[in-house]
């Protein structure tokens, strides 16, 4: 199967934020969409291993922050490359406000924010789909949304070509952050050391 076909589902990059008691957290996703207009419902699909998933399971609420083309790599690194279980993603960060539901949302590189309350949860194996009713919407700018394709072309830094690396060696590149793994075979359980994404997010470099 040529998985490249799936890249043509042109999705946008989001920061999904949630509140665990008093701790604000968020993660990067590219799997949100509108489900119905009356009532206004959206869905977000999140990996079960994410701290944000656990928080939403318990709290039943989240903010979906739609990133725009002015979003920089630092913002994506902050929310996407570490777990909120070990870090406070809002520390030393001032580009946020708090929505009516008490959950923070990013104001930098973000064109809109959608607050929602979970009404249905679907277990799809590795991920959970939260279907949620929209409770508040905020439009911050009219900049175009950052698609996954735009992120790869313009936001993610170009992969570093190490001088010492052996050109004859097979290389695998992480499609999320650009990390390069060298080796004939990429182990199925390999986890990117930089962004913690699984082997399925790597592709063989030609």
The residues that touch Fe ion, with contacts defined as CB under 5 A, are: 174, 176-177, 179, 192, 194-195, 197
Q: Of the two residues 42 and 192, which places its CB atom closer to Fe ion in the complex?
A: 192
Q: Of the two residues 113 and 195, which places its CB atom closer to Fe ion in the complex?
A: 195
Q: Of the two residues 46 and 177, which places its CB atom closer to Fe ion in the complex?
A: 177
* Spatial contact of 152 and 178, defined as CB atoms under 8 Å apart: no
Q: Of the two residues 82 and 135, which places its CB atom closer to Fe ion in the complex?
A: 82
Nearest distance, CB of residue 189 and Fe ion, angstroms: 15
Nearest distance, CB of residue 109 and Fe ion, angstroms: 20
> What CA–CA distance (Å, rounded) separates 126 from 21?
25
Eight-class DSSP state of 16? E
- The span from the first CA to the last CA of the chain, in angstroms, equals 18
Nearest distance, CB of residue 161 and Fe ion, angstroms: 17
Q: Of 30, 70, 67, 79, nearest to 154 (Cα)?
A: 70
Cα-based distances in Å from 144 to 13, 47, 184: 12, 26, 40
Nearest distance, CB of residue 16 and Fe ion, angstroms: 18
Q: Hey, what are 51's tokens?
A: 């701290």
Nearest distance, CB of residue 151 and Fe ion, angstroms: 13
- According to DSSP, the β-strands at 23-29 and 32-36 are unpaired
* Spatial contact of 175 and 96, defined as CB atoms under 8 Å apart: no
Nearest distance, CB of residue 25 and Fe ion, angstroms: 20
Q: Of the two residues 15 and 177, which places its CB atom closer to Fe ion in the complex?
A: 177
* Spatial contact of 25 and 17, defined as CB atoms under 8 Å apart: yes
For residue 12, the cross-strand partners are 147
Q: Of the two residues 16 and 192, which places its CB atom closer to Fe ion in the complex?
A: 192
């Amino acid at each position: 199967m040529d998985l490249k076909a799936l890249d043509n589902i042109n999705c946008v990059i989001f920061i999904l934020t949630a509140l665990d008691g008093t701790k604000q957290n968020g993660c990067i996703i590219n799997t949100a969409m509108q489900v119905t207009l009356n009532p206004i419902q959206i869905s977000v699909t999140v990996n079960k291993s994410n701290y944000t998933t656990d928080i939403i399971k318990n709290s039943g609420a989240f903010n979906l922050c739609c990133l725009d083309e002015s979003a920089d790599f630092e913002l994506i690194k902050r929310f996407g490359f570490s777990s909120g279980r070990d870090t406070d993603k809002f520390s030393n960060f001032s580009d946020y406000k708090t929505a009516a539901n008490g959950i923070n949302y990013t104001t930098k590189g973000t064109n809109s924010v959608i607050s929602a309350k979970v009404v249905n949860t679907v277990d799809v194996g590795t991920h959970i789909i939260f279907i949620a009713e929209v409770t508040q919407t905020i439009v911050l700018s009219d900049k175009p949304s950052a698609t996954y394709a735009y992120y790869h072309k313009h936001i993610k830094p170009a992969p570093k070509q190490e001088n010492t690396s052996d050109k004859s060696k097979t290389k695998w590149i992480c499609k999320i952050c650009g990390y390069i793994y060298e080796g004939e075979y990429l182990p199925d359980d390999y986890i990117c050391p930089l962004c913690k994404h699984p082997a399925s997010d790597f592709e063989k470099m030609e």
